[in-house]
């Protein structure tokens, strides 16, 4: 089976064809918004950091924003910097060029002599890029080019019983086709890490899976936070998820059953293909953005309580295993997996249905979050600003 995608000069394949207006830091973020509002066919992501950062936070910023530019759904990028920020436009451009040879233009507000001149220049670049992007025709591409990100948020007890197992089936199908599927949220491995670790392709990967869980608990303990007092969330508990172990054991179903071939750091691009894990926090928005920075063209997001989260670069497909939520949050949920709970369909059958939905979205079908133009963006942090 094939899908229709946009072939990029770096060899990757996009399922959307957008021009990105990318801020290096908070100081150029609003200028990016104005540029994007003036040029149809562009998108922008906000940046609430990028300066006065410790080295580790700066690295996350470079990884994440260069990853957005390299995402295959992006045709090209207009990078907009202020000029004096810690996350420099030159370094950011270098990081982008390490990852991709796609079109890239740079505008620096201080060099242009203020916001109006910078907008003028960036709009001209963006208009040209959008026109060039419009000439790219969709082509038949094998499913091995797909890179799926798998997320869950607002879980309830149906997530572990219905939606996550159904998504796990899709993850396995993608891997069988030679593609990749990444599952994130280290918080939601805790209590199930011993089960997840059995899927590790090598003893080294098994060790990495246990270590990221251990490190996260220790990291939070450093700020006197017991992970168990924040997880599960009040909504999870009301939905029938009582402990982090119960939440995690249900969560890991969404990653399927295939051997895990690589454990990625936050917002890193993979070097291997197959079933992958990314070390991200349990905050769903900060996980989705990191997987998009890692190169996912599409996200499947399971929810029991119902959430609106979308992403401006990659379409997000919402799946619930809770029939009440599907009815109650119809504006937000794309796919109902609850039919596996009443025995109407098997997990296998509903997994195939969701796989077909995924192919339709790859071919251009607009998801509910995408139709709203939702643009949540959140970046993980190590510590305070300097």
Q: How far apart are CA 287 and CA 278, in angstroms?
A: 9
Does 190 sit near other proteins (CB under 8 A)?
yes
Does 211 sit near other proteins (CB under 8 A)?
yes
Does 220 sit near other proteins (CB under 8 A)?
no
Asked whether the beta carbons of 192 and 252 are under 8 A apart, the reply is yes
* Shortest distance in whole angstroms from residue 154 CB to other proteins: 13
Stretch that binds other proteins, among 3-11, 155-163, 310-318, 356-364 (CB under 8 A): 155-163
3-state secondary structure of 192: coil
Q: How far apart are CA 189 and CA 212, in angstroms?
A: 9
Residue with smaller CB distance to other proteins, 24 or 164: 164
Does 239 sit near other proteins (CB under 8 A)?
yes
Does 34 sit near other proteins (CB under 8 A)?
no
* Shortest distance in whole angstroms from residue 342 CB to other proteins: 7
Residue with smaller CB distance to other proteins, 150 or 213: 213
**Nearest residue to 295 via CA among 22, 98, 69:** 69
State which of residues 111, 112, 177, 217 lies at the interface with other proteins (CB under 8 A): 217
Does 79 sit near other proteins (CB under 8 A)?
no
Does 84 sit near other proteins (CB under 8 A)?
no
State which of residues 53, 105, 151, 156 lies at the interface with other proteins (CB under 8 A): 156
3-state secondary structure of 27: helix
Does 198 sit near other proteins (CB under 8 A)?
no
Tokens of 87: 């996350």
Does 194 sit near other proteins (CB under 8 A)?
yes
Does 249 sit near other proteins (CB under 8 A)?
yes
Q: How far apart are CA 270 and CA 306, in angstroms?
A: 30
- Full DSSP string of 258-322: SPEEEEEPTTPPPSS-SEEEE---S-HHHHHHHHHHTT-SEEEEE-SS------SSS-EEEEES-
Does 327 sit near other proteins (CB under 8 A)?
no
């Amino acid at each position: 089976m094939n899908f229709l995608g946009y072939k990029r000069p770096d060899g990757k394949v996009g399922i959307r064809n957008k021009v990105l207006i990318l801020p290096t830091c908070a100081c150029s973020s609003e200028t990016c918004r104005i540029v994007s509002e003036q040029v149809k066919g562009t998108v922008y992501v906000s940046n609430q950091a990028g300066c006065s950062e410790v080295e580790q936070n700066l690295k996350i910023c470079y990884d994440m924003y260069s990853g957005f530019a390299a995402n295959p759904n992006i045709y090209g990028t207009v990078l907009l910097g202020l000029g004096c920020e810690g996350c420099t436009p030159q370094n950011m451009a270098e990081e982008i060029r390490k990852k991709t040879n796609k079109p890239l233009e740079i505008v620096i507000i201080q060099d242009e002599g203020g916001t109006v001149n910078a907008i003028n220049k960036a709009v001209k670049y963006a208009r040209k890029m959008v026109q060039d992007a419009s000439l790219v025709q969709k082509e038949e591409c094998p499913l091995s080019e797909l890179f799926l990100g798998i997320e869950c948020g607002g879980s309830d007890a149906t997530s572990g019983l219905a939606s996550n197992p159904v998504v796990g089936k899709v993850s396995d199908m993608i891997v069988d086709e030679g593609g990749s599927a990444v599952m994130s949220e280290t918080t939601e491995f805790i209590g199930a890490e011993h089960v997840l670790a059995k899927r590790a392709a090598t003893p080294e990967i098994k060790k990495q899976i246990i270590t990221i869980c251990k490190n996260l608990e220790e990291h939070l303990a450093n700020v006197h936070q017991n992970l168990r007092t924040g997880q599960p969330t009040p909504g999870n508990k009301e939905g029938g998820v009582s402990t982090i172990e119960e939440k995690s054991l249900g969560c890991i179903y969404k990653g399927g059953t295939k051997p895990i071939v690589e454990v990625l750091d936050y917002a890193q691009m993979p070097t291997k293909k197959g079933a992958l894990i990314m070390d991200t926090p349990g905050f769903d928005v900060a996980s989705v953005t990191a997987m998009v920075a890692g190169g996912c063209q599409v996200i499947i997001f399971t929810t029991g309580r119902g959430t609106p989260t979308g992403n401006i670069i990659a379409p997000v497909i919402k799946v619930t295993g809770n029939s009440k939520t599907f009815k109650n949050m119809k504006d937000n949920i794309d796919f109902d997996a609850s039919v596996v709970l009443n025995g109407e369909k098997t997990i296998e059958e509903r997994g195939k249905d969701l796989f077909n939905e995924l192919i339709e979205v790859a071919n251009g079908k607009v998801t509910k979050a995408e139709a709203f133009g939702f643009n949540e963006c959140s970046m993980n942090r190590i510590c305070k600003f300097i």
